[in-house]
Structure 1
């Protein structure tokens, strides 16, 4: 399996509390977050092909990325996550799993997530119901919607999705069309692309519910302590 980890962002919501440290180097029980994630991927997929997009202070992160293919978003400070995906668009020539680099996963969750058989997968947490978040809607065993500001959502998007070979090519094509019209605004997301793919009747997206596992996305400084508590012993 190929994995694409997104690590280019500045982490603006952290403010100055990290003293310039990239979020992926936050210590999680004696291990930088990115080192932990790479270890978990490789423990569960010994033949993992790992690609990484860097930007902010990439020189600090590079020493932790043994045997990874590296892409650089040189405009990380003025672009959004869609731009980072675009710079890594050559990775989309086969099935791949895309992971935001600020998620902390328990070992149990990693053991179930990375070998998951579903060709098309979107992770979410049905126990977190917040209208202000990025959410997904699930109908029986299929994802039906992805985005913000809609009713009938089933839980918060958990920053991981998996693409089949066909869906990966479609994603890259749609992304390229969008980016060639001009880099999108810094705070926009890949909503429109996901909505088009989810609306494609030939693609059946399977939800992967994180609610029974321990995990945490680190957006704010206080999330660090929560993450450490949640995955203690994991």
Structure 2
């Protein structure tokens, strides 16, 4: 993860990722249906955007630690987007916007680039795992972005956040409206409370909810109720 997520498109193809995700949970194959049809810029822009996973466009907040004004940060982020180094993930609306936050999030396309920007190292994380969250989320984003890009169906990836600050990292929706939700946790264990956002969305979308998965830094697939499961992050690349 710290060295980056760039692999060949063939390795990341949705037809290989989707069977692994669809094997998680109740065995309905809904994730398979959704996914399986399936010159370096200046350093200051990187410092400005290293809050990947943060809501945008709060440019002033992003620029605080880089000592840049908001307009400069916005220009830098747009530059990184044009270079395909940073990508905005839109907010999911579900046609029910009255209680939802519509702000997109920023993600580095490659987690290795973010890890370098944050000066993360394996030895450091062995002592303190707290900085791992944003890099891990960007790593999962990179894997999912590649999978959705080569899927046969047109897929939309977004994130969910409501005005109660309940969040889900990734929402993947196909043309039929079936919804796959993925939450990322840097922890080696999972609690029922980690499914708060997934349960909120399950209640909101009803029968369109295909599956909710918490990806975590553990070893076992664990059930947490109907259409809700925890799975190791390694399912993204396991053979």
Q: TM-score, normalised by structure 1?
A: 0.29
> Which one has more relative contact order, counting CA pairs under 8 Å at least 6 apart?
1
Instruction: Name whichever structure is richer in helix by fraction.
Output: 2
TM-score (norm 2): 0.29
